[in-house]
Chains A and B, each alone.
Chain A
Amino acid sequence: MNVAKDTPPDHRAESRTSVRPINIRGRFLTAVALKIDGGLPDDDFYAALDDMLRQRPHFLVDAPLILDLDGADSLTRSTEMKDLVANLKARKFNAFGVQNASDMQLAAAEEAGLIAVPPGRDAPLRDDRPERRRSAGTTEKQPTAVTRTVTVPIRSGQTVVAEHGDLVVIGPVASGAELIARGNIHIYGTLRGRAMAGCHGDTEARIFCQNMDAELLAVAGLYRTSENLGQEIRKRSVQVFLQDERLCVETLG
């Protein structure tokens, strides 16, 4: 999720959306495989199925269903295949594919409107995916740090964000104003508003402030408000950092 948010907008993709492209997305779903053993599905087979449904009426209802033909060598004709699908449909099973089918069975299944689902593919896929995701992540998560410097007073109601690095403010920050940075925050002036460093979870980020009178201080999501900051650090030069998952405020000099 984070990776997607951080990625800078792709302008080519944006221009493509303006002509309304066909939207194709990968989709994983859980299907149920029904093993058809022995000969053609007969009354006994359906009776057993009905019996099972009576015991657990909501079990697998409307579930996407795959017919596993591993042990059903005699089921080779499309009419039989269609019968089976219709009978299952009557019991609210939606068969859409076959697996472990022979060539002859495949042809019949195709005629019956079923698709071939390759069995046992999920194992290699699972090995493959996280690695691809990781490599994609490392290339995207290395934007060069960009410092943002502000030399005018930050007024009440304003928010200044340094999305990709440190934030340096030279001037006062009014109560009701907000400073947010991915990295450190430096304030050369009085901080009366809020400062949030390490907004993407960087626990090494710090806040340095020449004159501390803040409403709220936060590093990597851990915060303290003016109520529990203590009087002894008010109007002093301080630094704010995380130590053992605690937010520490320390006077400087």
Chain B
Amino acid sequence: MTSNLTQKPKVQGKIIVITSGKGGVGKTTSAAAISAGLAQRGHKTVVIDFDVGLRNLDMIMGCERRVVFDFINVIQGDARLKQALIKDKRLENLFILPTSQTRDKDALTKEGVEKVLNELRDEFEYIVCDSPAGIERGAQMAMYFADEAVVVTNPEVSSVRDSDRVLGLLSSKTARAERPGAEPIKAQVLLTRYDVQRIARGEMMTVDDVLEILAVPLLGIVPESPAVLRASNEGVPVTMDEPSAASAAYMDAVARLTGEEVEMRLASDKRPGLFQRLFGRTG
């Protein structure tokens, strides 16, 4: 520790992976919303797109036309990190490291990813890694060096099972799992596309059902909201868009991620009583 302090006076940044296993549950939306939320709260944050070949994050962040160099260029030494980082025009503390649309996941090497992440750790408080779907190389590289994990889950059985699989990988196939004596990755569930009416009709799983299976703390509940799709299409992270139930839920989740205790609530006007019961679980 002492040698660390003398070499690197700055606080080491925290690496948070946004992952899920299943596709289409809202990983990239959540990565954009959470990183923007962290920056809004004054934390210097970078969000990295690990979905090599299916570049999406830059579109949701509204910077797709500003991409010159990317993550893969940096890993392969064709560009410096500073050249590839895109500074957000709206938030001073927010940076985006886009990925390549023309390469594939094999371009991600463990050594290359580690080098880039170590460099970022010195500069940023939070490094948010947007994982691709699946459990193959791209997803494994995104989670390998993480300190914390946000497992994005929809309240339906296939999504929950895939999240469970990913939680297993987080506790076995990551740097923290492989290093003896290291604290395991702190994993939390973010329930997205939560539709109170459909759950009341019994068409989807309840929060209790999901948490009982996954057996990890709940980071937040993001309601199904038209604001999410609208914001994505406009290239604005949900948390930077006009106030909505979804943006309020993401901001609560961000606050919890930074260690604040925030009561679990659904920002819409529907049955808050259901979620108050859950508060005890999240501590």
Contacts and interface: CB of A to CB of B under 8 A. Distances in A.
A171 B167 CA distance: 14
B164 A174 contact: yes
A190 B211 CA distance: 13
Contact of A171 (B165, B168, B169, B215): B215
A172 B160 CA distance: 14
A156 B165 contact: yes
A47 interface: no
Contact of A176 (B161, B167, B171, B212): B161
Chief secondary structure at chain A's binding surface: loop
Interface residues of B, number: 12
A153 B215 contact: yes
A152 B171 contact: yes
A206 interface: no
Nearest to B163: A156
Nearest to B213: A174
Nearest to A176: B161
A157 B165 contact: yes
Contacts of B169: 155
Nearest to B157: A175
Given A174-B213, A192-B213, A156 B171 contact: no
Contacts of A174: 161, 164, 168, 213
Interface string B157-182: 00001101101110110000000000
A17 interface: no
Q: Which of B164, B165, B167 has the most CB of A within 10 A?
A: B164
B168 A155 contact: yes
B151 to A, nearest CB: 11
Contacts of A192: 213
Interface in A147-169: 152-158
Contact of B165 (A152, A172, A176): A176
B213 A155 contact: no
Nearest to A158: B168
Interface of B: 161-162, 164-165, 167-169, 171-172, 212-213, 215
